[in-house]
Structure 1
Amino acid sequence: MGRLLKILLITLFAIIVLLAIAVFVITQVIDPNEFKPEIEKQAQEQANLTLDIQGDLAWQFWPSLGVSLGRTEARIADDEELFAALDEASVSVAVLPLLYGQVEMDGITLAGLDVNLVDGPDGANWEQIGPQTPSEDTAVEEEPVAEEGSSSLDIPLTIPQVVVSDGKVRYRNTADGTDIVVEHFNLNAQDVNLDEPFPLQMSLRYQDQSDMRVDMNLDTVLAADIDNNHFVLNPMTLDANIAGATTMPVDVHLEQNLDVNLNEDTVSIKDLLLQAAGTETKGNMDITALTGDMQLSGKLATAPFDANKVLEAIGEAPIETTDSQALSKIALDATLGGEPGSVMASPLTLTLDDSTLSGSAGLASLESGKIIFDLVLDKITLDGYMPPAGGDSETAAAGGGKTGGTASLSSDELIPVETLRPLLVDGKLAIGTVKYDSITASDMKFAVTAQNGVLQLTRATGSTLGGSFSAKAKLDASGSTPKISASNTVSSVQIQPLVQMALEDDLAKGVFDMTGSYSASGNSEKALMNSAKGTIDLSLADTTVRGLNLYSTLVGGVNDMLGQFQGLATALIPSQESGKLPSALSEDTKILDLKSRARLDKNVAYLDSLSAVLQKGEITGNGWMNILNQDFDLKIGMQSPELGTSKYLTGTTWPLRCEGNLGGNPAKWCGPDKDGFKDIGKQVAANATKDKLKEKFGIDGEGDTTEEVLKDAAQKKAKEEVNKQLQDGLKKLFN
């Protein structure tokens, strides 16, 4: 027995020595570089690749058995442009396990990999890889399937280390200009085992033709079930620096547990944490039918953040607001769901400072990109979100009459038609209350749609200032020239806060109703204004215009007229010993009822008709107003019962002229039409002369002026005595 044991030990030792000698001979005597020509030949025949193995092929014996490859370049067929290259590659197995019939990988390294992918109208360069001539049909003998446990060597299950360093892949598309480079690619995986999770680290830089650059570092534990296409990264940490999308580079930190099952077409994201530019989002998400009618479920929550701090982090200027605390508390809470093929957030809650927007929103169809939403905003006060006072305004300067302000209109493209045409939208928005300046609007409801390049505001209603409003609008961008149309109705709305806000002056108070319709076409400020058309019906009730008293204007004109026609005052206003009408004590005009119709033509609103009942009279008129520079010119006819006590003035319409700018002093807007008043004075004097001649002398004088009446009366009385008496009497007539 001892002899047998000794023989066995000697035999085993001999085998080990022989195996060691064989390995030594293979690694030290056989030169692998002798195989270069054959390797290059097979690459040419089997892959259509021209290999240039510049570096050495080398064996390694201890402590690992392996082979390494030096600098190698590959070109497709006879192309001069490099398709792929690597600086170094090696693979090795542990020596000692081989002595026991086991294969244990020691490591795989790949350094300096460089791949150039080119695509274009004629196809991609990688499509040329492979045999270029059909091979003869040969019978393929099926290799016998090894029975379980029949192999003399165990299949390696674990690779202690896989290292890829300084890799680079470039993709170019000559048709559309795409140029993407992934470089500085590094991968380090330890204890790689397809049956057990293993740690993996990866880093790379992505850059494209738009100067977008992403530096990324990944640290995870990967479980890879290759047979079932199931991959789990748990935990997973990704840090990236993104430049080119914003003014300043942005650091992004992502943590999650990622489960991807390609066979089941699912993705699961758990314990998500996303931090970027001062924001933090957490949540969980499950995706099914990833490559089909995708369906999402889960929750996302973004913690409150300050919008201006986010802008600062990405290098953008802050949003300047009247309230320094505006935009300082923005948060999001969304539950993801929806039918297959859609992505919906319902319920969705967005917090903006003291306001809350809630409801649902999302993509009704991932295929069509249709956006739908049904949201409710509880309240918002806009004053704090307005720019601080003192900023430059771009309103047109006053002056220039009807054509003023048009020079400032831009010819630049205004409407992004290419962006609007593919839009599919169906949305609703309700707002509880909106406050701005001294105006509060409530119960506001809006509805919008977009399809085939036509955007419509199908509803805009609400209550404000004691009344209500409604409006509709349409933008048709489907054709070569955008067309805009709109209509609105305002009922029983207090006018004072609106005038105060628009003109920064307490100019008027009262209640107004308005209906209007408008249209324009073009794609610039100038084109839209040059094509603008519209009609407006406006009515006022119980209104006071401050700083403008039309009756005082009328009285002033009448008194000036009386001063030009001596003797008329007694005949016209016998109750006034001064010979003048007293001025009104009030500086305002009280309008009991007013109705007007105007039409819009380009930048001018033409007042075609105006009729109003005042506290001291009635007015009619017409005129125009430039909506750009607010210049206006109105011709008004006024009748006043205060001047109707004289039969010569009953029914007289006194011409007034109101012109200027809405930004000017109302007291200087209106004045009497001096020529019109003078004509009235001549006619009144002629009528009074007729009556006096008839009354004192029984003579019927004819004429439009006093002179014509006197001349006609003299001709009718040929007798000299009568003429003398007539002349003497007339001299005393108005003295």
Structure 2
Amino acid sequence: MKRVITTLAILLVVIVAGMTALVLLVNPNDFRSYMVKQVEQRSGYRLEVSGDLRWHVWPKLSILAGRMSLTAPGAAQPLVTAENMRLDVNLWPLLSHQLSVSQVMLSNAVVRATPESAPQQPQNAPVAPGRSEAAAPASGWSFDIGQLRVANSLLIWRQPGGDEYNFRNLNINLNQDARHLASIELSTSLTRNQRNAVLSLKGQLDASQYPHRLSGQIDELNYALSGADIPPQGIKGTLSAQGSWRAETQQFALTQMQLSANDSALSGEASGSLASPQQLALQLHATQLNFDNLMANAPQAGDGATQHATVARAPVIATPREQNNLDSPLNAMNLAVNLKADSAVWRGLTLQDFALDVANQQGLIALRTLRGRLGEGDFSAPGTIDIRQAETRVALQPVLNKVAIQPLLAAFDLPQTAQGALSLNGELSGEGLSLEAAKRRWRGDAQLSASDVKLAQLNLQQMVRRAVARASDRVSSDESSEQGIRQLDGRLALNNGVLRLTDLKGEGDRLRLQGGGEVNMPTQQLDMTFGLTLTGWKGDDRLVALLSQQAVPLRIYGGWNNVQYSLPVDQLLRQQLQSEAKSRLNQWLDRQPKNSDSDSLRKLLRP
């Protein structure tokens, strides 16, 4: 055992002594001009390294350099600058006077992906042929890089004419083999407009046809979004896909996409181009899609007093630049989205077989398909959205077929005062795309039909019976098992928040209804007047005939939180009694001899 330990100790001493001698004998600054020359020959980029190069022997044999920069041909700014660079070199090639770099590490680097750092072709420059391998160097040195590591760095990304994005805490680990097949690990974060994004990626990259073509796959991309105008719980999820990129046409494609966002799961593919105008086409399918978990202003389930989520807002530090449609990226691109979801949730409504087909042409959005099933009914709302001007303009043609009324009222933040099934066919237009804008700045009309309508806390048949019973004991009516309106038809007109209902006609068990009125959504006031005719009376023949033919006026009015109603049945019966008494008195006068007193009484009784 002592011999083994002694042998290992001697071997270690020899290795350390050999490395020390190698470090003393080989000057790393001899590699500087060669590295600069090789980088320029192979890529056309200009490498600059400041300061002396020095050896570092633990834990790996490395060359340490100070500030470095890498600049594309004709670029105004460097593509990469770094405060520190470390080159891990292989020992055995170094013994044969060869430089083999196993890993390049950059620390505190700044990577610029901007128009100023992009390669610029000189005027009248000849078009280069396809990629060709660089010629072998004349000297005895060789140069190769298998690994790249970037730590604690910054990526500045900006498209021509676009905004600038700073990706901080950039960490990249890239391992590449001789066939230019690489594995990549990347993590970074982005903070912009009081919103934060964090992402990490693991994937594979095929750069064998670079710079003309790149392909690869995203094994796993994890992301998380938080901050202002984002749901309190944030948005986080994963993405995996196969991808490709063609430099000549600036086209990209993603296939076999698997995307999750909170509790939503989607699959599909995407393709597009970054050439102007930018193109993007999405084909997506979702088993479960929860819009409420992805929208900042969606209503939250639970306590009735809390209708909306508490969403963080950006603090007012200075007068912000007013945001309008001119800032929208949709004005500079063509977008096509085809989305189908087995189940979706929007503002508390559970939608089945949801389908969305959208085509955007630089700000003019065509909703070619927007449909789905809602409970026992279905809906469709094709139309257009124009964001080419500062003010969004919307035009929709909604069609509802037997959609439950109460959940629909809850989704639009209206009092849940009615139950039943609603069918509607109309046209709407206006300014703004939010729910608040729709309730204040939209206009249009529609033909509506509802079935099995029940009003909350209002039994119309019972109200009329009780009012008649209080006014007179000469008539009565049996209670009916049906309490609502079996069928109701009419027209609806919306004008900047005022919802006017006209030509309402309905019928139920022993009940006929007609009338109309308006609902003022901005002021939360309503004023509706109905004429109610109830049959099935028993008792005094004249009162029975009157109540079976004469409509009883019902007025519902006031604020949403303090609704009042008026049902003047006693006035109707009083008028009937007065008319009956007057008729009987006239009959008695007709039987009396004419004199001055009877003539005066007749004049008083004339209408």
> Does TM, scored on the shorter chain, surpass 0.5?
yes
Cα distance change of structure 1 residues 187 and 331 upon mapping to structure 2, 3 Å threshold: closer
Alignment of 1:253-402 (within 5 A): 253-257=172-176, 268-275=180-187, 281-287=201-207, 294-302=212-220, 310=224, 320-321=232-233, 330-337=237-244, 341=249, 342-352=251-261, 355-363=264-272, 366=275, 368-380=277-289, 389=302
Q: Offset at 1:457?
A: 1.8
Q: Which amino acid aligns with 2:584?
A: K
**2:6 equivalent in structure 1:** none
Deviates more, 1:487-496 or 1:331-340: 331-340
**What is residue 614 of structure 1 aligned with on the other side?**
508
Q: Is structure 2 residue 488 aligned with structure 1 residue 594?
A: yes
Tell me the residue number matched to 2:135: 227
Q: 1:698 Cα shift?
A: 3.7
**Structure 1 Cα separation of the partners of residues 436 and 408 of structure 2:** 27
- Work out whether 1:515 is the aligned partner of 2:409: no
SS across alignment from 1:478: coil
Match of 1:719 in 2: 595
Structure 1 residues 246-269: Cα deviation after superposition (integer angstroms, max 9, x where no partner): 999635242321779xxxxxxx44
Displacement of 1:580 after TM fit? 6.5
Tell me if the contact between 1:233 and 1:259 (Cα under 8 Å) persists in the aligned partners: no
Alignment partners' CA distance in 2, 1:287 and 1:198: 19
For the pair 1:659 / 2:557, whether they are aligned, the reply is yes
Contact 2:409 2:416 in 1 (8 A): yes
Which residue of 541, 551, 567 maps to 1:672?
567
Moved more, 361-370 or 196-205: 196-205
Aligned-partner Cα distance in 2 for 1:537–1:649 = 30
Distance 1:356 1:543 in 2: 37
Distance of 1:433 and 1:92 partners within structure 2:
63
Report the counterpart of residue 374 of structure 2 in structure 1. Answer: 464
SS of 1:421's equivalent in the other structure is: helix
Amino acid at match of 1:165: G
Deviations, residues 239-286 of structure 1 (Å, cap 9, x unaligned):
2344999999635242321779xxxxxxx4422233457865333223
| Distance apart, 1:356 and its partner CA | 3.3
Q: What is the rounded CA distance, in whole Å, between the counterparts of 2:410 and 2:466 in structure 1?
A: 29
Aligned ranges 1:157-236 → 2 under 5 Å? 164-166=65-67, 182=81, 184-186=83-85, 191=94, 197-199=100-102, 201-203=104-106, 205-206=108-109, 226-227=134-135, 233-236=145-148
Q: Distance in 2 between matches of 1:65 and 1:429?
A: 63
Q: TM-score w.r.t. structure 2 length?
A: 0.65
Deviations 1:214-259 (A, max 9, x none): xxxxxxxxxx975379985313333234499999963524232177
Q: Would you say the 8 A contact 1:311–1:317 is kept in 2?
A: no
Paired with 2:589 and 2:31, the residues of 1 have a C-alpha distance of 143
Structure 1 unaligned residues grouped into runs of 5+ = 1-62, 67-88, 94-108, 114-159, 211-223, 261-267, 396-410, 563-568, 570-577, 700-713, 731-735
Change in Cα spacing, 1:629 to 1:228, as seen in structure 2 (3 Å) is farther
Partner of residue 687, structure 1: 579
How much has 1:547 moved relative to structure 2? 1.3
User: Would the alpha carbon gap of residues 377 and 240 (structure 1) be closer, same or farther in structure 2, given more than 3 Å must change?
Assistant: same
Could you say what secondary structure the match of 2:149 adopts? strand
Per-residue deviation, 1:462: 1.2
Cα deviation, residue 490, structure 1: 0.9
Distance change in 2, residues 1:543/1:528 (3 Å): closer
Contact in 2 for aligned 1:180/1:206 (Cα 8 Å): no
How far is the alpha carbon of 1:489 from its aligned partner?
A: 0.7
Deviation at 1:445, TM superposition (A): 1.0
Letter in 2 for 1:299: Q
Distance 1:65 1:422 in 2: 56
Shift of 1:413: 4.5
Match for residue 263 of structure 1?
none
Q: What SS class does the counterpart of residue 424 from structure 1 fall into?
A: strand
Aligned residues: 492
Shift of the 271–499 alpha-carbon distance from structure 1 to 2, 3 Å rule, reads same
Partner of 1:60: none
Alignment correspondent of 1:408:
none
Determine the structure 2 residue equivalent to 1:7: none
In angstroms, what is the RMSD of aligned CA positions?
5.2
Distance 1:415 1:681, change over 3 A: farther
SS at match of 1:547: coil
Change (3 A) 1:167 1:231: closer
Q: Give 3-state SS (helix, strand or coil) of 2:369's partner.
A: strand
**Contact kept in structure 1, 2:107 and 2:153, CA below 8 Å:** no
Q: 2: distance between equivalents of 1:208 and 1:442?
A: 46
- Contact residue 534 and residue 547 of structure 2 kept, 8 A: no
Shift of 1:602: 0.8
**Cα offset, 1:334, TM superposition:** 0.8
Amino acid of the residue matched to residue 378 of structure 1?
A: T
Per-residue CA deviation, residues 680-714 of structure 1 (Å, 9 max, x unaligned), is 45642443134313554546xxxxxxxxxxxxxx9
Change (3 A) 1:423 1:669: farther
Partner of 2:395: 485
Contact residue 631 and residue 660 of structure 1 kept, 8 A? yes
Q: Is the 8 A contact 1:467 1:490 kept in 2?
A: yes
> How far 1:487 sits from its partner (Å)?
1.9
Alpha carbons of structure 1 residues 311 and 375: separation in structure 2 relative to 1, 3 Å: closer
In terms of Rg, which structure is larger?
1
**Change in 2 beyond 3 A, CA 1:241/1:423:** same
CA distance in structure 2 between the aligned counterparts of 1:526 and 1:371, rounded to whole angstroms: 30
- Over 3 Å counting, the alpha-carbon distance change for 1:196 and 1:92 in structure 2 is closer
Does the residue aligned with 1:227 lie in a helix, a strand or coil? Answer: coil
CA distance in 2, matches of 1:491, 1:301: 44
Correspondence for 1:646: 544
How far does residue 499 in structure 1 lie from its aligned partner after superposition? 4.7
CA separation of 1:182 and 1:671: change in aligned 2, threshold 3 A: same
Aligned-residue offset at 1:655: 1.8
Amino acid at match of 1:333: S
Q: Distance in 1 between matches of 2:257 and 2:185?
A: 19
